């Protein structure tokens, strides 16, 4: 009886083992078909070329540091609009400015016009920045920052549009003049993703403009004076334009 078991057991096990070994070995052939996919991955390596440009955002960081050069360690003010503080709030037939949902909401209902709101703090030289967005926007409509405002009739404004342009204007006794006309910039996030971090550095007669930590240009000839800070919305084509502002801050600069 033991002799029979010894002779019968080996042959059955040897045959299945041989077939199982053959199947995986043939499976190497499909792997060869995946080799072209590896080549495709190598092509994807060319996509790494744009990745090589990813280090470029390091430059805007440096630019932001330049904007803050000479700035005070502590801000003159920061505003996240959690508590109504220092800002005009109003509502009438054409304009509305209210602090709601943790943002300052400024609505304009007049075509080809602008509306603005000022806070109660003023400085002469500074870096002033904030986040601005518009939900619905037409051609050359936009939003911006107001600075060196003496009153509602005399101030400067850095404005960006929903179509990716920017300009610097002066309101002098109610008359508007362009210190810098509409200029195109790829740094501006356009409508419908119209949400941008805007900044203006003002020292003496020079105003340096920033969008999303990218330096745009400097404009000379800004009147030297102490003035208040504010925000602005501009209408051109739409019946109603609403801008939202958040995370405003200003740092004083010692020239």
Residue pLDDT, tens place only, 234-248: 998 888 999 999 999
Q: Identify the DSSP state of 80.
A: -
- pLDDT exceeds 60 at position 45: no
What's the pLDDT at 243? 95
Burial class (CB in 10 A: 0-12, 13-18, 19+), 113: middle
Q: Which pLDDT score, from 0 to 100, does residue 69 have?
A: 85
101: pLDDT strictly greater than 60: yes
Task: Enumerate residues 6+ apart whose C-beta is below 8 A from 171.
Answer: 153, 154, 155, 156, 157
> pLDDT band at 62, cuts 50/70/90?
low
Residue 63 confidence class, pLDDT cut points 50, 70, 90: low
pLDDT band at 70 (very low <50, low <70, confident <90, very high): confident
Report which listed range, 87-91, 97-101, 134-138, is most confident.
Answer: 97-101
How confident is the model at residue 252, as a pLDDT? 95
Q: In terms of pLDDT, which residue wins out, 26 or 163?
A: 163
- Whether pLDDT at 34 is above 90: no
How big is the chain, counted in residues? 255
pLDDT band at 84 (very low <50, low <70, confident <90, very high): low
Of the two residues 88 and 114, the one the predictor is more confident about is 114
Strand order from edge to edge, sheet including 154-161: 113-123, 227-235, 142-151, 154-161, 165-172, 175-184
d(CA 140, CA 160): 8
pTM exceeds 0.85 for this model = no
Distance CA 232, CA 151 (A): 14
**Range scoring the smallest mean pLDDT among 1-15, 162-176, 224-238:** 1-15
The CB-side HSE value for 255 (13 A sphere, CA atoms) comes to 11
Q: Is 206 exposed, middle or buried (0-12, 13-18, 19+ CB in 10 A)?
A: middle
What is the DSSP-derived secondary structure letter of residue 253?
A: B
Question: How many Cβ atoms sit within 10 Å of the Cβ of residue 155?
Answer: 22
C-beta neighbour count of 90 within 10 angstroms: 11
pLDDT band at 145 (very low <50, low <70, confident <90, very high): very high
Would you say 121 and 86 are in contact if contact means Cβ atoms under 8 Å apart? yes
Residue 93: the pLDDT is 87
Lowest-confidence segment of 44-53, 87-96, 127-136, 223-232 by average pLDDT: 44-53
- pLDDT for 64: 65
């Amino acid at each position: 009886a033991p002799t029979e078991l010894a002779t019968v057991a080996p042959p059955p096990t040897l045959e299945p083992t041989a077939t199982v070994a053959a199947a995986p070995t043939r499976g190497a052939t499909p792997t060869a078909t995946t080799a072209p996919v590896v080549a495709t991955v190598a092509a994807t390596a060319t996509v790494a070329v744009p990745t090589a440009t990813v280090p470029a955002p390091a430059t805007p960081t440096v630019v932001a540091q330049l904007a803050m050069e000479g700035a005070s360690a502590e801000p003159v003010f920061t505003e996240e609009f959690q508590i109504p503080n220092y800002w005009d709030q109003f509502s009438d037939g054409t304009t509305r400015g209210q602090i709601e949902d943790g943002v300052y909401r400024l609505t304009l209902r007049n075509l080809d016009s602008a509306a603005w709101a000022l806070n109660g703090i003023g400085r002469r030289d500074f870096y002033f920045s904030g986040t601005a967005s518009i939900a619905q926007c037409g051609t050359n409509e936009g939003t911006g920052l107001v600075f060196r405002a003496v009153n509602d009739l005399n101030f400067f404004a850095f404005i960006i549009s929903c179509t990716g342009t920017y300009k610097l204007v002066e309101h002098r006794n109610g008359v508007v003049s362009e210190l810098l006309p509409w200029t195109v910039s790829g740094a501006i996030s356009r409508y419908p993703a119209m949400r941008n971090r805007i900044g203006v550095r003002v020292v003496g007669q020079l105003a340096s403009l920033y969008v999303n930590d990218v330096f745009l240009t400097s404009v000379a000839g800004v009147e030297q004076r102490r003035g208040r800070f504010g925000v602005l919305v501009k209408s051109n084509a739409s019946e109603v334009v609403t801008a939202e502002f958040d995370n405003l801050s200003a740092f004083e600069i010692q020239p």
